[in-house]
Every structure is written in C-alpha cells, then in structure tokens.
Amino acid sequence: MKGRTFKHAMAAHCESGTLTALLNHAGLKISEPMVFGISGGIFFGYFESKKFPFPTFVVRSRPGQIRTALARRIGVKFAERRFRNPADGEKELDRLLSLQIPAACQTDFFYMNYLPGHVRVHINVHFVVVVEKRGEAYIISDCYSPELASLNRDSLMKARFAGGSFAPKGFLFYPVSVPEAIDFRKAVWKGIRSASFYMVKLPMPFLGVKGIRMFAQKVVDWPRLARDTEHLSHEIMKINIFLEDQGTGGAGFRFMYATFLREASELLNDRDLLEMSKRIMEIGDRWREISLFAARIGKRRDLGPDRLRELSGLIHERADAEEIFFKELLAMSKKKK
C-alpha cells in the first residue's frame, strides 16, 4: 500500500467512502455499499433530549462504528490515534505522509474550503483522506469533491482540532494489515444479522423501527416545541436534508443498503438477497416521497395539523414496511449464516 498512487473517487458518504478508498489503496477491492452493508451501518434513531435544541433523528449507526464493525468482520487492522496536543497530531500526520502512507482524518467540515461556502457547516464528523503534503499545503481526497483538493495547513489544523460535540482531537486512522483471504459470505451475513437485529429487536422505544414509529407520533407535536412558524418550517425541511443531503446516498441510506444487498446476492449467488434488495429500494422510494413532502410543506409554510398528520401517516407506513422487511432479513440471516 505504501508508495502506490492514490486513486481519488467520489462516494456517497464520507465515512464509508474514506474506508473504501483506503482499503482499495491497500489492495482490497471492495465497494462503498459493501463496506456500509458489512458494517451493518443502516439504522434509525429518534432523539428528544435537553441536550438537543430540537428533536432530531439519525439514519445510520454512530460515527466510527462503520470502521470498527467492518474491521471486526473482515479482519482488517487499522492503526488509530487521537492527540491531546495538536503539534503531536500534525507531526504524526506529516510522518505518515513522508512515508507515503495516506491517512483518514476526522475533521470539522466547515474548514474544507475547496468546497463551495454554502454547503459547508460546522460538523465534526467529516472524514477525508490526506494523501500528500506539498510545501505548506495538504492534498486531500474528499469524497464530496470531484477531484483531489489542496487545503492549507492552518485550515487542516483548525479542522482536525475543532472543539465542540464529537471533537475530532486530531483522530486519524489507516489500514496496517489486510488479510489475504476474507470469508465474505460470513462477513455479509454477520452484517445483515446485526443491522436487522438493531432495527427490530432493540427494546428502546426510540431506536430501530420503534424509533421510526416514535418519530411518526412525535412529529405532530413539533409545533408545540418550535419558537414560531419559521422555526417549525426550518425543522420540517431538515427532514429532507437528513434523508437526502447529508451524504446518505439517497433516502436515508436505504438506496445504498439496496445496492449492498444486490452486490451481496451476486457475490454469494443468492437470489433471495436480490429480492430483498428490490424491496428495500422500494422502501427507499417511499422515504424519498417523505423527503419531498416535508420539503414542500416546509417551503410553503403549509404546516397545519392536517399536513403534519399526513406526514406522520407516511412515516408510520415506513415503520410498518421496515418492520416486515428487517424481520424477514433477520430470519434469513439466522437460516443462511
């Protein structure tokens, strides 16, 4: 892996995209959907807490889990480091680059100033691969950028050592060993089993399919929590952003999961997985309708009780469909593992 020319590629999601790029560079041919699916990245969680200014939801496992679960299931070993002292973090990255070892870094997305200003927000869990150092600038492979980009030292340091929630603390990782033979059948089914289990078997009412139901029930109460119509409209439109815009590959990662199941069906020569792929793709299409519905009513400030009940009904339907889907997938994973 050392000394090879790094091939930049765009990807749907920064964490799975970064992992895919590093593993491809290390000589392991694997696609982004396969990385996502084996890690069991698909998920749903609805959160209301005093810690958050407004209720929110997630559609994937927590940051970092894609890497750790993938490593466990396919046997790849990553070197990982965090730094208390920014100077140490800089020194270590420079050392790796001097050895021609590209490393993934956790950053605050806001400082990726090669991307247009209107898309950049402060979010501390953006992953990029730092490929090379040229003078005082770093060459970055960012899966949201069509080509390799250059970032100055100050911006990269600010991005790697930004404060706040999920502070990166200079976190970096890179693969140090890739097994010669990987039991992909076992890895795929473990990933499927884990994702299905988390979607339908967790007892907490805000996680998995239960979380989708809670979201459906609670969204009709959002007007009570919002400061005014402007605020409510902003929060309702964020449903679209969370499902479509934040590197989800579309429909809250459901399309990426469908691609994973399709690729897995080809790899394992399993027609059942192809059928499941088609079904989650259709489920994703309906999530996309929710995105559009939320974006439309938010934009038009058409946020009366009837509209929110309609939105709630659409989300309830997704909960029903995903409950059936993941229960079947879980049963399949127990039978075929």
Partner 1 sequence: MNTNAGNELNNEIKLLIMEALTINEVAPEEVGDDDSLFGQDNVLGLDSIDALEIVMALQEKYGVRIDDKNQSRFILRSISTIAEFIGKNRTR
Per CB under 8 A, which region of 67-75, 127-135, 201-209, 285-293 contacts partner 1? Answer: 285-293
Cα–Cα distance for residue pair 94/71, rounded to 1 Å: 25
Q: Could you tell me which of 187, 197, 195 has the C-alpha nearest to residue 23?
A: 187
Tell me the per-residue interface mask from 156 to 195 with partner 1, x by CB under 8 A, - otherwise: ----------------------------------------
Per CB under 8 A, which region of 154-162, 179-187, 194-202, 243-251 contacts partner 1? Answer: 243-251
Cα–Cα distance for residue pair 285/249, rounded to 1 Å: 12
Cα–Cα distance for residue pair 28/167, rounded to 1 Å: 30
The yes or no reply on residue 256 touching partner 1 (CB under 8 A) is yes
Cβ of residue 196: shortest distance to partner 1, in angstroms? 22
> What amino acid occupies position 267?
L
Cα–Cα distance for residue pair 113/316, rounded to 1 Å: 40
The yes or no reply on residue 127 touching partner 1 (CB under 8 A) is no
The yes or no reply on residue 250 touching partner 1 (CB under 8 A) is yes
CA dihedral sign, ordered 117, 119, 121, 127: negative
> What amino acid occupies position 102?
P
The yes or no reply on residue 295 touching partner 1 (CB under 8 A) is yes
Position among 247, 252, 290, 322 found at the interface with partner 1 (CB under 8 A): 247
Position among 87, 204, 267, 292 found at the interface with partner 1 (CB under 8 A): 292
What does the buried/exposed string (b/e) look like for 263-279 if buried means 16 or more CB atoms within 10 Å of the residue's CB? bbbeeeebeebeebbeb
Tell me the per-residue interface mask from 6 to 25 with partner 1, x by CB under 8 A, - otherwise: ----xxx-------------
The yes or no reply on residue 70 touching partner 1 (CB under 8 A) is no
Cβ of residue 136: shortest distance to partner 1, in angstroms? 29
